[in-house]
Amino acid sequence: MSQSFVDLTAIAYMVSAVLFILSLRGLSSPESSRQGNMFGMIGMTIAVVTTILNPEIVSYDWIIGAIIIGGGIGFIIARKIAMTDMPQLVAAFHSLVGLAAVFVAGSAFLNPGAFGITDAMGTMFMASKIEMALGIAIGAITFSGSVIAFLKLQGTMSGAPIMLPARHVINAAIGAAIIAGIALFAADQNVEFGGLNVFWIVTLLAFIIGFLLIIPIGGADMPVVVSMLNSYSGWAAAGIGFTLQNTALIVTGALVGSSGAILSYIMCKAMNRGFISVILGGFGSDSGAPSGPMGAETRPVKQGSADDAAFIMKNAGKVIIVPGYGMAVAQAQHALKEMGDMLKEAGVDVAYAIHPVAGRMPGHMNVLLAEANVSYDEVFELEDINSEFAGADVAFVIGANDVTNPAAKTDPQSPIFGMPILDVEKAGTVLFIKRSMSSGYAGVDNELFFRDNTMMLFADAKKMVEDVIKALH
C-alpha cells in the first residue's frame, strides 16, 4: 500500500471522526437533530468509501453484494417502520452490531494471518488476542441482550421481570468464567476444554449472560436498557476496530460507547436509580390483565367525558400536555397536535412536558411529537417546566403513569420513591387519559387518580383526543 494512500486514508478517517462528533452534538437537541443526522450520514459515507477503496481488497463481489442486500433491507424497514415501533427497531439494530462484532472476531480467530495480527511464527499478538476476545464477548452480550430487549419491547415476551433463582450468583460465576477465559486465551490461544477452544467457550458464555442480564429487567427500566445496549454496541465495534486496525471504527465505536454510557447515567439519574441496580435486575413489571375502569380498586374516582375535557380546557388560560407511552401505543400524536392547535386558536397557552424516561427509549416522546410537527419551542424537559404546573389551569396527561405518580415523593416504601416526576398534581385540574385503572410499568398504583382535582378519561388515547377535538368544534 502506497504511503500517499495511507496518508489520505488517515485524513479521511479524521474528517469522518470530526463529523461524527458534530453529529452527536447535533443530536443533543431536537432543533439541531436533522443537521446532526446529516453530519453522521456524511461522515459514515466518507468512512465506508475510504475503506472500500483500499487497494489491498482482492474482490468486491461479496462487499457489493452485502451493501446491496443490507442497504436494501435497511431502506425497506426505514420506510415501513412506525414511529411507535422505534424502540424495538433500535434494539434490533444494536443486536446486529453485536452479531457483526462476533462474526469479525470469529473470522480473525480462524484466520489471523489474513488480519495481519500474527508474528513470523504465525502466533497471534497478545494485544490482538485480548482485543479480539473482548470484542467477541461484548458483541455476544450485546446481541443476546438486545434480542431479549426487542422481544420485550415488541410484546412477544412479557415486559415483567423474570427473576431466576440465585441469578446474581449465576451471573457472577459466568462473568468470572468469561474473564478467566479471556486471560487463558491471551496466555495461550490453543487452550481447550472438552475439545472446545476457550475462545468459543467465552463466546458461548457471553451469549448466555446477555440473556440473563436483560430477562430480569422490567418495562420501567427499558430506557436505561436501550441506552446501555447502545453503549455495549459501541464498545464492541471499538474492540473489533483494533482487530481490523481500522481507525474510523475505533473512533466511532468509542464515541458510541462513551455517549451511550453517559446517556445511561442520565437515565438512571432521571429515575433516581443506581446503574448497577438496574443491571442486576431492575424493578418494574407489567400489570396483569387490563382491568375495568375501576379494576380491583374500590376508592372512588372522578370520571369525565370528552365534552367535559373540552369545556375545561377551552376555558383555561394555560394547558400543559404530558405525553407518555400510552400516546405512542395509540398513535395519538397527530390528533394531539390538532387539539393543541385548536386550543391555541382559542387563546389558550399550550406547552408540552416531557419526562426523560417517558416511553421505551430516551427521547421517545420527542420523536413522536416531532413526527406530528409540534413546534420545538412548545416542548420542555422536566427541569424546565416543572415549576409551571402550579400556575397551569390544566395538566392533560395522555398515557403517562409512573412519571406523574406522587408516590415517588411521598411513599418511602414505593419502588419508585426518589424518582423525579412531573408535578402535574399541582395544576388546577388534571385530565388523565387511561384505558383502565391498571398500574404503570413499575407495578405501582398511581395516587394521582384519586385526587380531588383529577378527572379520569377512560378510553383509548387517540379516540379520546379525537372526541375532544369534535367537542371543541
Q: What is the 3-state secondary structure (H, E, C) of 58-101?
A: CCCHHHHHHHHHHHHHHHHHHHHCCHHHHHHHHHHHHHHHHHHH
Residues 6+ apart with CB under 8 A from 42: 19
Q: Which of 221, 286, 402, 423 is catalytic?
A: 402
Structure confidence by residue, pLDDT tens digits, 108-163: 999 988 888 888 888 888 988 998 999 999 999 999 999 998 888 887 887 666 77
C-alpha span between 355 and 270 (Å, rounded): 8
Q: Is residue 458 classed as helix, strand or coil in its secondary structure?
A: strand
**What amino acid occupies position 102?**
V
177 CB-contact burial (10 Å; exposed 0-12 / middle 13-18 / buried 19+):
middle
How many of the other CB atoms lie within 10 Å of CB of 45? 12
Side-chain half-sphere of 271: how many Cα atoms within 13 Å? Answer: 27
Report pLDDT for 411: 82
Report pLDDT for 190: 87
pTM, to two decimals? 0.75
Mark whether 402 is an active-site residue. Answer: yes
DSSP 246: -
Q: Is residue 375 classed as helix, strand or coil in its secondary structure?
A: coil
Q: Are 313 and 394 in contact (CB under 8 A)?
A: yes
- DSSP for 167-185 reads HHHHHHHHHHHHHHHHHHH
The residue with cell 453530519 is: 39
Characterise 328 by phi-psi region: left (phi > 0), alpha (psi -120 to 50), beta (else): alpha
Strands 454-458 vs 379-381: parallel, antiparallel or unpaired:
unpaired
Cα dihedral 6/12/18/23 (nearest 10) = -140
HEC-encoded secondary structure of 261-286: HHHHHHHHHHCCCCHHHHHCCCCCCC
Question: What does the domain layout of the chain look like in residue ranges?
Answer: 81-279, 306-472
Report pLDDT for 289: 36
Side-chain half-sphere of 279: how many Cα atoms within 13 Å? Answer: 15
C-alpha span between 471 and 320 (Å, rounded): 19
Measured in degrees and rounded to the nearest 5, phi and psi for residue 459 equal: 180, 170
CATH 3.40.50.1220 assigned to domain 306-472? The reply is: yes
Listed as ranges, residues in the chain with pLDDT below 70 are: 1-2, 5, 83-84, 159-161, 218-221, 271-273, 275, 277-298, 440-443
Side-chain half-sphere of 120: how many Cα atoms within 13 Å? Answer: 0
Report pLDDT for 262: 86
The residue with cell 405512542 is: 328
Q: Are 178 and 184 in contact (CB under 8 A)?
A: no
Characterise 321 by phi-psi region: left (phi > 0), alpha (psi -120 to 50), beta (else): beta
Report how far Cα 204 is from the mean position of its chain's Cα atoms.
Answer: 25
Report pLDDT for 142: 93
Q: Is residue 196 classed as helix, strand or coil in its secondary structure?
A: strand
49 CB-contact burial (10 Å; exposed 0-12 / middle 13-18 / buried 19+):
exposed
CA distances from 343 to 26, 130, 473 (A): 32, 61, 10
